[in-house]
């Protein structure tokens, strides 16, 4: 099943998720893994998300217990998000997140340390939904794109959440939250319309996830 998103406020075209291509993050430093398979559980998850999206809106709130130092990404008026980097600590907490705008990475949101995994978006690809889970700290994050791909960071543990924009056609443009010594304690997401016109043609089914020490 594919759902069509009809952009508003003068934006033409559509953002639509096609059958997802699973792209799991590996823990081996300096390695990259390419996957081009479609898994039944992935399709089932996307179907569940589609149903939930039609009845519930959970944008503009923070997920997690919170507490600690507040952070918020800056607005980039020239570039859309082109990648995401997530660092996982030795006990499985998500320590920090970075966003890539154009060819430049943002500052670290959270605390330093851990092993970083990157998910680079293709041209005209945008993040349109996320799934995650948390206990005291954020432990799991999955990003979904308009071209039907997903990237998984961490291990699912604790209380789960699903996030998507409040208006069809918006995409992820930033994040905010709080962090303490061991990682991110709460996270929220910013949504707006993309700066560039979205492309609706599905990409190649092969995707590289890069892991850096």
Average pLDDT, the chain: 77
Q: In the prediction, which pLDDT does 46 show? A: 52
What is the token pair recorded at 66?
């919170």
Q: In the prediction, which pLDDT does 198 show? A: 55
pTM: 0.70
Find where tokens 């918006």 sit: 170
Residue ranges and CATH numbers for the domains of the chain are 21-195 (2.100.10.30)
Q: In the prediction, which pLDDT does 28 show? A: 33
First CA to last CA distance, the chain: 38
User: Which portions of the chain are predicted below pLDDT 50?
Assistant: 1-40, 43, 47, 50-51, 53-58, 201, 203-209
- Rounded alpha-carbon distances, angstroms, from residue 166 to 50, 87, 112, 190, 192: 14, 28, 32, 10, 9
């Amino acid at each position: 099943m594919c759902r069509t998103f009809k952009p508003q406020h003068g934006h033409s075209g559509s953002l639509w998720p096609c059958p997802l291509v699973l792209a799991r993050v590996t823990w081996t430093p300096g390695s990259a893994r390419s996957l081009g398979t479609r898994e039944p559980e992935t399709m089932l998850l996307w179907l569940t998300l589609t149903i939930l999206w039609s009845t519930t809106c959970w944008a503009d709130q923070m997920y997690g217990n919170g507490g600690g130092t507040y952070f918020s990404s800056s607005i980039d008026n020239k570039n859309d998000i082109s990648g995401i980097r997530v660092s996982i600590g030795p006990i499985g907490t998500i320590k920090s997140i970075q966003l890539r705008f154009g060819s430049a990475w943002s500052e670290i949101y959270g605390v330093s340390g851990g092993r970083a995994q990157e998910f680079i978006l293709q041209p005209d690809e945008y993040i349109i939904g996320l799934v995650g889970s948390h206990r005291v700290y954020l432990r799991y994050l999955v990003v979904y794109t308009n071209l039907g791909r997903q990237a998984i960071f961490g291990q699912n543990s604790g209380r789960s959440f699903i996030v998507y924009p409040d208006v069809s056609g918006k995409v992820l443009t930033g994040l905010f939250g709080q962090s303490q010594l061991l990682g991110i304690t709460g996270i929220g997401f910013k949504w707006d319309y993309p700066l560039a016109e979205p492309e609706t043609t599905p990409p190649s089914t092969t995707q590289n996830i890069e892991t850096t020490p």
